[in-house]
Amino acid sequence: MATDAGHPGRTNEDFAGAVASGLVLVDGAGGIAGAEKVCHHGVAWYATRLGGALLGVLSDDRPLPELLAESIERVTDEHRGTCDVAHPISPYAAVAMLRISGGLVEHLVLGDAVAVVGRVGADPFVVRDRREAVIARSFEARLTGIPEGSAEYRRLLLELRARRNSPGGFWVAKDDPRVVDEAITGSCPAGEVTVAALLSNGASRVVDTFGLTGWAGLLRLLGTDGPGEIIRCVREVEARDGVAADDATVLCCR
C-alpha cells in the first residue's frame, strides 16, 4: 500500500489498512470553512475511526453491507453527543472493501473510491460509483471564477452537499447506516482472481481523469513498480498541468 497527502503540511484524510481477511480504504471528506464548529474531531478522525472499525469486523462472516452499517453507527455514536453529526458539512467518506472468504473475493464500494479485480483470462472487473462525479461536474462550472471562501462559494458547496445521501444524489458513509443499501457489492471466485486493488479517487485519476493507462495497465504497473508509482505518476501530471492535488491512496493484494 502507499498513500500521500494532497497538500504538504495538511493532514492526510485517507485511511488504508489490511488484515489477513482483506483490505479497507476510507477516503474522508466534508471539511469546509466552519466545519470545526460542527464537528471538532475532523475528517481524518472520522476516516481513521471508520476504517479501524471495519478492519476489526472484516473477518466476520456477515455480509459486507451489514459490517459497514454497524461500523457507521458505532463511529457516529462516538461523537453524536459532542458534534452535529447530521449537519451537511460534518465529516463523511467514500469506502472500498475487499474480503477473501469462503472461496470468494468479495467487494463493496460506497462513494467515489474504486475497486479493481484482475481475473485469469479476462479483463479486470472494475467497481466504481460515478454518481458523485457526475453531480460534482455540474457544479464545477458554477464554481469557476468564484473566490474560494466567499459566501457564494460556500453556498454552492452547501448546495452540492445537500445532494448527498438523498434520492437522485450520491451516497457516502456519514451518520446514517441505511446508506449501505446504495453500496455496490459483488464477488468473484477466488480461483479466478490474480490481483486486486483499492484506490481513492485521488489515485484513480491516473486512469479515469488523466488517462495515463487503462485498468489492466494499472494492475500491470502495480505488479512491476508497486502502488507508490501510481501516486508518483498522478503527482507528476498534476504538477505539470496545474491540477489541484488530492489525497491519494492505493492498496494492492495478490
The verdict on residue 193 lying in a domain is: yes
- Are 226 and 1 in contact, with CB atoms under 8 Å apart? no
pLDDT attached to residue 33 = 64
- Using DSSP's 3-state secondary structure scheme, residue 12 falls into coil
pLDDT attached to residue 135 = 85
Res 223 pLDDT > 80? yes
Ramachandran region of residue 145, left (φ > 0), alpha (ψ -120 to 50) or beta?
left
242 burial level (CB within 10 Å; 0-12, 13-18, 19+): exposed
The verdict on residue 62 lying in a domain is: yes
Per-chain mean pLDDT for the chain: 93
Res 227 pLDDT > 90? yes
Quickly tell me which residue has 492505493 as its cell: 250
The verdict on residue 20 lying in a domain is: yes
Give the range of the structural domain holding residue 24, as residue numbers without chain letter.
12-129+171-241+249-253
The verdict on residue 136 lying in a domain is: no
The verdict on residue 107 lying in a domain is: yes
The answer for residues whose C-beta is within 8 angstroms of residue 231's C-beta and 6 or more apart is: 2, 3, 4, 203, 248, 250
pLDDT mean over 72-78: 96
For residue 173, the 8-state DSSP code is B
The verdict on residue 4 lying in a domain is: no
Is pTM beyond 0.85? Reply is yes
Res 149 pLDDT > 90? no
For residue 193, the 8-state DSSP code is E
Cell numbers given for 206: 491516473
The Cβ of residue 193 has, within 10 Å, a number of other Cβ atoms equal to 20
Which of the two residues, 9 and 109, has the higher pLDDT score? 109
pLDDT mean over 113-119: 97
How far is the CA of 159 from the CAs of 36, 83, 108, 155, 169, in angstroms? 19, 21, 27, 6, 11
Distance CA 222, CA 196 (A): 10
- Are 43 and 200 in contact, with CB atoms under 8 Å apart? no
Q: Where are the beta strands (DSSP E) in the chain?
A: 2-4, 14-19, 22-29, 92-101, 104-110, 114-119, 122-128, 184-189, 193-199, 248-253
User: In degrees rounded to 5, what are phi and psi of residue 50?
Assistant: -65, -45
The verdict on residue 150 lying in a domain is: no
The verdict on residue 226 lying in a domain is: yes
- DSSP secondary structure string, 58-117? TTS-S-HHHHHHHHHHHHHHHHTTTS-TTSTTS-EEEEEEEEEETTEEEEEEESS-EEEE
CATH code of the domain containing 87: 3.60.40.10
pLDDT attached to residue 150 = 85
Lowest mean pLDDT among 75-84, 148-157, 205-214: 148-157
Distance CA 76, CA 94 (A): 15
pLDDT attached to residue 243 = 92
Lowest mean pLDDT among 21-30, 62-71, 140-149: 140-149
- Are 227 and 252 in contact, with CB atoms under 8 Å apart? yes
16 band by pLDDT with thresholds 50, 70 and 90? very high
Number of folded domains that form the chain? 1
pLDDT attached to residue 34 = 66
